[in-house]
Structure 1
Amino acid sequence: MSVATYPPSFLFFDLETTGADPVFDRPLQFAAIRTDMALEPIGEPVVWYARPPDDCLAHPAAVMTTGLLPDDPVLAGADSEANLANRIHRLVSQPNTCVVGFNNLRFDAPMLRFLFWRNLLDPYRHEWADGNSRFDILDAARAYRLLAPAALNWPVDGNGHPTLRLSELSAANGLTHENAHDALSDVEATIDLARALRNADPALWERLLAARDKREVARVIDQPGHVPFLHVSPRLPARVASASMFCSFGQVDGNRNRRECWDLRFDPLPWLDLDAEQWAERRFLKTPPIEAERDWDELRLPIKSIHLNRVPVVLPAEALERDGVAQRMVIDRARIEEHAASFRRHVDALRERLIGALEQTEGDFPPRPAEQSLYAGFVPNADRRHLEDWWGRARGLRSRDEAIAHARDLLVWPFEDPRLPELAEGFVARNLPEALDDAARERWRARLVDQLRPGQRLDPGQGQAPGTDRDFPTLFAQADRLATDEHWSPEQRALLGPYRRWLEQRERALKG
């Protein structure tokens, strides 16, 4: 069937996983509902599960969040990760599909990319090819809170701060959300929220959807003369509506999809007194720049990267004309105009400092295991075609013996990409261990036994979030700590007993 045969559609989806790290953690539950562009369902919902793989120990906080114990019967009898990946890949790759979720661009989408990568499927094509795109309802809600606040009731947390949690938004607006952190329930709630936003301001909805096309994003950001634009992002403080005005430097490095942009809350002129090395030192300061405005020595470099192909919320400066927008952003429009004029006058000198700072701070990272090295480069075309052909033939196999022979063909293929032999061996070890020779079987066993030793950090020295150590000693300690944490409900903490028993059983099996 041709691409034109498929009408445009949204595919709303959600994942429940073994933890919060997209690089390392694994999907356990996938749910999706396809809708037309008017957000009316097409066909039946899908809910698929996968068995937890042996080389990924679930984090206790994830178990408490999802309610899915690793030895839950619904998981124990579920599909392999490879089969789940194959089914999801075919679903999201249907032409003219816009893949949508709630916080999917920062969590679920990279989780899918690494799922596909581990399972030798193209990790990117479903996001852009054949008329496909992606969108995030969390980002849309954040934009509506600034630009069309009458669209929803906006809840606050216990400290009086605004919250954009899906469960809280659903409750505040009378939307269906019967079982938070069940994948299908989250999908249904996300669709209801999308309908509420679209119905409240259809023009804004279409404006935000337009950013699925990076050419439209570039049209806003790359206007001649460094014209200011409005940008809404979770990286900007909620107290200023997660928004600011920016001017773009344009493309400053080899990444044609990235723009470095100056935050116009800040006068660029004083920054010319610092050299490129000082800019580099200031680039990664943890203090949010707006909060540090009164203390120059603590001020982070007020430059933000915006990626054209990541569906950013960017709008022309005219968006400030909407009623109350400037007040919610807590900005002085006259100062913004002054800073924009200063930026234009000194843009060449500022750009020179920026390029020097980037050269000092964007070096090579230490080598990573193949399964964590997706972003180390694109797979050569010859390797990509071979993997597509391998999967095409794998889908037609009828017996375990045929599958084992087919897997052995994969293990001896002369890949150009040095990551792929290691990736293929892990894939086969998880799904068809009978296909491994003795040496490969020993390497896999050693990898699993490594989980017994403390300090098995996923990616040493790369600033992973707390909780990413996944060895048995760390997870037992985490479970003990969480058992007394009243942030969690009694029902959630009750899951820690069965979780510990599962962990003990896995530990005994590896020690044996």
Structure 2
Amino acid sequence: MSFVFFDTETTGLKRGFDQILHFAAVRTDANLNELARFETRSRLQPHVLPHPSALRTNGLPIEWLTDGNLPSHYTMVTDIRRTLISWSPAVFVGFNSIRFDEEMLRHALFQSLYPAYLTSNHRNCRADALSLVMAADAVSPAQLVVPVNEEGRRTFRLQQLATANGVSHARAHDAMSDVLATLDLCRLIYQRSPELWQRFVRFSNKATVADFVEAEDGFVLTEFFGGQAYHSPVVCIGSDPDQANGRLCLSLNEDVGRLAAMSDPELQVHLTQKPSPIRRFRINAAPTLTAFFDAPEHMLEGGAIGDIEDWARRVKADIGLRTRLVAAYIAAREPYALSPHIEERIYNGFPGPADEARIAAFHDARWEDRFAIVQGMEDERLRWFGLRLIYFEARSVLPEPARLEVERYLTDQMTGDGSGCLTIDQAMAETGRLLGEAVGPDDLLMHYRTYLQDRRARLEAYRAKLVA
């Protein structure tokens, strides 16, 4: 199995609304020897306003992002998809990638009318180097140096980790530089702690995770919050009915006899306490799991291994109790609310087979023929994203009513209440705040403010024209 290390630089942190600007990836063999590199950029989409903090972090002037010589977002995503599929099957690895870069890539694919789950399909697996680094620190702290920031707190930021461990990282927040730094950190763990590396690779495969969770009476689940590792001896009590890849576990620090004696309403109340006795993870998100016999004493939260194993076997054998616990947890959980923004509905169901055929036909058709294909789509998300794609790439082929529909929608978003994409007013206010805090002139943000002022004037002129 090969590996693909990848990273994205984006206009901001809002998944579904911000976009990828720079994507880089390196393919390696099983021993982490480099085989190939890929890198691509995109110009700014017409409706996306970069967050000024992102521009400052990435060092990207607005003039670069609006350069018409750069590929369009759709062209960039098409190139990314073609390359990654040609490198599949592989284990996809990034730094904090499962929580961020994977999400940005999924949204980019979905909004470009491609299947969103590229890194989970095509016999691929996925893992996160941030979890690996944190696990290495928690399990075998001698393997890596974890630096301390100016506030005296240990930090797991990629730039600081690279520096502390002698890893070259000349251009932080450049996608290719971040990829190479991530790869080198993984090489250190691969060389210094082969057992930990093998566990990392093993649990990148969701089928392997599912088998482990099912076969073991119990295990240690390690979760990371605020740069700290938290270990919980747990037993799996069942699947999450609302998420096929979700698994629900019970902390083995609970008094199982007391739980069994509770009524269903009492269980519901008990399971809503913070922190909840029920821990949830996804088998397809490369969780950090440790078998009891591999777990150091400090990972057992002070419990005796014999007692913990006895409790785990008791819960595992009591199907009735596990069923009641899952039902009580689900009943107490707040229902998921449908987002008013179509950009945030990526996880609200899969496109049907007929629409899957239509999106495949969409990419093979001429632009002048794609509008008819989009009109036939049953999924409103795909209809909207398809219409928007045609507007961005070949708006002259759109009938005027369709063109006006897209323009009104995007104008309303950019001047709206801010619950979705970054608005003109929000971008202006944040840019002004950062300029006010700057020591000396900040040409990058000053140019961006001029750009925003021009965009605002054009939007106001367009809205006035619509009213007239």
**Closer, same or farther: CA 213–405 of 1 in aligned 2, 3 Å:** same
SS of residue in 2 equivalent to 1:415: coil
- CA distance in 1 between counterparts of 2:393 and 2:159 reads 36
Deviations along 1:28-61, one digit per CA (max 9) or x if unpaired, are 1111121112111113x33211111122211111
- CA distance in 2 between counterparts of 1:491 and 1:410 reads 53
- CA distance in 1 between counterparts of 2:192 and 2:67 reads 40
- CA distance in 1 between counterparts of 2:426 and 2:71 reads 28
Please name the residue that 2:91 is paired with. Answer: 98
- Does residue 303 in structure 1 map to residue 278 in structure 2? yes
Q: Give the aligned CA root-mean-square deviation in angstroms.
A: 2.7
Answer whether contact 1:34 1:41 (CA < 8 A) is retained. yes
SS of residue in 2 equivalent to 1:251: strand
- Does residue 326 in structure 1 map to residue 301 in structure 2? no
**Closer, same or farther: CA 39–243 of 1 in aligned 2, 3 Å:** same
Please name the residue that 2:464 is paired with. Answer: none
**Closer, same or farther: CA 66–216 of 1 in aligned 2, 3 Å:** same
**Closer, same or farther: CA 350–210 of 1 in aligned 2, 3 Å:** closer
Answer whether contact 1:451 1:471 (CA < 8 A) is retained. yes
Which amino acid in 1 is paired with 2:223?
Answer: S
**Closer, same or farther: CA 14–348 of 1 in aligned 2, 3 Å:** same
SS of residue in 1 equivalent to 2:62: coil
Deviation at 1:307, TM superposition (A): 1.4
**Closer, same or farther: CA 430–96 of 1 in aligned 2, 3 Å:** same
Answer whether contact 1:483 1:496 (CA < 8 A) is retained. yes
- CA distance in 2 between counterparts of 1:163 and 1:65 reads 18
Compute the TM-score of the two structures, normalised by the length of structure 2. Answer: 0.89
Please name the residue that 1:227 is paired with. Answer: 217
Please name the residue that 1:461 is paired with. Answer: none
Deviation at 1:343, TM superposition (A): 4.4
- Does residue 181 in structure 1 map to residue 152 in structure 2? no
1:199-238 to 2 correspondences below 5 Å: 199-223=191-215, 227-235=217-225
Deviations along 1:156-201, one digit per CA (max 9) or x if unpaired, are 2233332211111101101010011011110110111111110011
Deviations along 1:453-506, one digit per CA (max 9) or x if unpaired, are 352311xxxxxxxxxx51111222222333355xxx859965322221121121
- Does residue 380 in structure 1 map to residue 352 in structure 2? yes
SS of residue in 1 equivalent to 2:32: coil
Answer whether contact 1:33 1:46 (CA < 8 A) is retained. yes
Please name the residue that 1:290 is paired with. Answer: none
**Closer, same or farther: CA 278–420 of 1 in aligned 2, 3 Å:** farther
- CA distance in 2 between counterparts of 1:418 and 1:328 reads 47
Please name the residue that 1:288 is paired with. Answer: none
Deviation at 1:411, TM superposition (A): 3.2
Answer whether contact 2:106 2:117 (CA < 8 A) is retained. yes
Deviation at 1:250, TM superposition (A): 1.9
**Higher mean displacement: 137-146 or 354-363:** 354-363
Answer whether contact 2:43 2:70 (CA < 8 A) is retained. yes
- Does residue 478 in structure 1 map to residue 441 in structure 2? no
Answer whether contact 1:17 1:29 (CA < 8 A) is retained. yes
Which amino acid in 1 is paired with 2:431?
Answer: A
**Closer, same or farther: CA 120–252 of 1 in aligned 2, 3 Å:** closer
1:254-333 to 2 correspondences below 5 Å: 255-269=243-257, 299-320=274-295, 325-327=296-298, 330-333=301-304
Which amino acid in 2 is paired with 1:29?
Answer: H
Deviation at 1:141, TM superposition (A): 1.0
SS of residue in 1 equivalent to 2:53: helix
Please name the residue that 1:400 is paired with. Answer: none
**Closer, same or farther: CA 451–144 of 1 in aligned 2, 3 Å:** same
Which amino acid in 2 is paired with 1:356?
Answer: A
Please name the residue that 1:162 is paired with. Answer: 154
Deviation at 1:373, TM superposition (A): 1.5
Answer whether contact 1:67 1:492 (CA < 8 A) is retained. no
Please name the residue that 1:445 is paired with. Answer: 407
Answer whether contact 2:236 2:316 (CA < 8 A) is retained. no
**Closer, same or farther: CA 309–16 of 1 in aligned 2, 3 Å:** same
Deviation at 1:73, TM superposition (A): 5.9
1:2-151 to 2 correspondences below 5 Å: 8-43=1-36, 45-72=37-64, 75-94=67-86, 95-129=88-122, 131-151=123-143
Deviation at 1:331, TM superposition (A): 3.1
Answer whether contact 1:19 1:58 (CA < 8 A) is retained. yes
Of 392, 395, 400, 1:430 maps to 392
Deviation at 1:369, TM superposition (A): 3.7
Which amino acid in 2 is paired with 1:499?
Answer: Y
**Closer, same or farther: CA 371–144 of 1 in aligned 2, 3 Å:** same
Deviations along 1:324-371, one digit per CA (max 9) or x if unpaired, are x33366533356457546745876346414313313535352354433
Please name the residue that 2:232 is paired with. Answer: 244
- CA distance in 2 between counterparts of 1:336 and 1:438 reads 68
**Closer, same or farther: CA 330–251 of 1 in aligned 2, 3 Å:** closer
Which amino acid in 1 is paired with 2:303?
Answer: D
Please name the residue that 1:357 is paired with. Answer: 329
- CA distance in 1 between counterparts of 2:262 and 2:53 reads 44
Deviation at 1:272, TM superposition (A): 5.8
- CA distance in 2 between counterparts of 1:110 and 1:175 reads 27
Deviations along 1:396-439, one digit per CA (max 9) or x if unpaired, are xxxxxxx4313334333x22334322221122122221122111
- CA distance in 2 between counterparts of 1:282 and 1:445 reads 50
SS of residue in 1 equivalent to 2:239: coil
Answer whether contact 1:277 1:357 (CA < 8 A) is retained. no
Of 347, 356, 371, 1:408 maps to 371
**Closer, same or farther: CA 89–408 of 1 in aligned 2, 3 Å:** same
- Does residue 498 in structure 1 map to residue 447 in structure 2? yes
Q: Percent identity?
A: 27
- CA distance in 2 between counterparts of 1:238 and 1:63 reads 25
Answer whether contact 1:180 1:186 (CA < 8 A) is retained. yes
Number of equivalences: 459
Compute the TM-score of the two structures, normalised by the length of structure 1. Answer: 0.82
